[in-house]
Each structure stands twice: as C-alpha cells, then as structure tokens.
Amino acid sequence: MKLEICANSYQSALNAQKAGADRIEVCSELSIGGITPSFGLLKKIAEDLTIVTNVLIRPRSGNFYYSDDEFLLMKENIKLCKKLGFNGIVSGVLNNDDSIDIERTKELISLSKPLSFTFHRAFDCVKNPQEALKQLIALKVDCILTSGQQEKAENGIELLKELQKLAKDKLIILPGSGINKKNTYLFKQAGFKEIHASASKIISTERSFFFGNTPQTISDKETIKEILKVIKST
C-alpha cells in the first residue's frame, strides 16, 4: 500500500520526502479544504525535490462549481504544472446540483494528459456516489480521493469498500481524511492500494486579532514514518 502525503508547504513536502512517503499532493490552506499552491512553491518543489508530486487545482474554497474566469484559471495552472514536470493533477468540477460536471471535468482531464488525474473530494458532495463513480470511470480518471462521504474516512469505510469493489481495477479509490497510525490498519486490511494523509502536527498557535485563530500546521516526519511502519508491518 502506498502513502500519499497532503503537503501544505515546502517544509511539509521536504519532510514527506525525507520520511519515505511514496507521493505528495501539494496544496495550500488545508484549513479550508485546500487550494492551488503558489507558483513559487511549485517551482521550488520541482527544482529541489525528487518525490512523486501531484498538485491540487482548486481556485478557491467553497463549492466546486466555477465561473468561466475561475475555470480558465484552473486550466492555466494545469498548463503550468505540466511545464514544471509534475506527476499528476488533482481536481474536478461539479454542477450547481452537486452532480459531476462531465464536460468541464473531461476538459481538465484532456488538458492534463499525459499527467495522471485524480478527482478530488468534490466527490464527497455528490448525491449518488455509485453513479458518479461510473461517470468517472467512463472519463478514464486514474483515481478518486474520497472520505466515503463522511467527515473522516474511518467512518466512511463501508462506502469506500463498496466503491473499491465497484471500481475493480478501472481506477484507484484513495481514502483520505483523518487517516493516522491508529487507523491505517483498517484500510490495509480492506485491501486499499493507497491512502492519503496529512500527518500534521501544530507548530504554532500564535493568533492574530485581524487574521483569525487557525493554527499553523506541518506534515511531520516522525508521524509519516509511524504510518509507514503500519503499512509495512505483516
């Protein structure tokens, strides 16, 4: 089973590489579900690191249906990721009824080639996950990142297993959200090929009167190693 680390900064990405993670998904602002990271961060990761890297393409927080201008930004960022030589794109688009926007998602997948394409946790908003899975298989998505439509993947394990059974070998179901060293064995026992975790620890609780009280977090090298130890255990 492979471990993907959701890296919210250069240091998080570096820690994931040093700890031996298989892959990272680079994003910014995990506290709001993640958005597209800056060009500077992407360029530095591309130049300095060797770990397999996917990039989140999400222009803002909130819902997953976008204006024409927002969609254009997404496409421009995908082009940038291709130029920088990354492994894959993590993205997706919904309609305003939270169904899969087939045409726009198809356009993003086509533009991303030859990079891999993961449909992100917008999947957890769809009303019919089984139907959405069929649609994404038809679009030839490589992977779906999902918590099984629960706040934590551990609580969505039954739907995750159902989706994995339905997907067979047509795409990878990638469980994510709240995965840690204590529950990794659940996903290992269920036969998932990959898991997604932030392995975060709080490194600063300093608060600003003007800018809220969200703590600063980082993907922790030792926490990543502990998850890997569970993965590699017999």
Does pLDDT of 204 surpass 80? no
Asked whether 223 and 201 are in contact (CB, 8 A), the reply is yes
Pick from 234, 233, 231: nearest CA to 20 = 231
Question: Residues 74-117: pLDDT tens digits?
Answer: 999 999 999 999 999 999 999 999 999 999 999 999 999 999 99
Question: In terms of Cα–Cα distance, which of 91, 29, 31 is closest to 55?
Answer: 91
Of residues 159 and 207, more confidence is placed in 159
Which residue in the block uniquely carries the two structure tokens 């500077």?
A: 40
Structure tokens at 38: 């800056």
Q: What is the pTM of this model?
A: 0.95
User: Other C-beta atoms within 10 Å of 171: how many?
Assistant: 21
Residue 231 confidence (pLDDT) above 80: yes
With tokens 């679009």, the residue in question is 139
**CA–CA separation, 64 and 25 (whole Å):** 18
Burial class, 46, CB count within 10 angstroms (exposed 0-12 / middle 13-18 / buried 19+): middle
Domains of the chain (ranges; CATH) run 2-232 (3.20.20.380)
122 and 129 Cβ atoms separated by less than 8 Å:
no
Band of pLDDT at residue 195, cut at 50, 70 and 90: very high
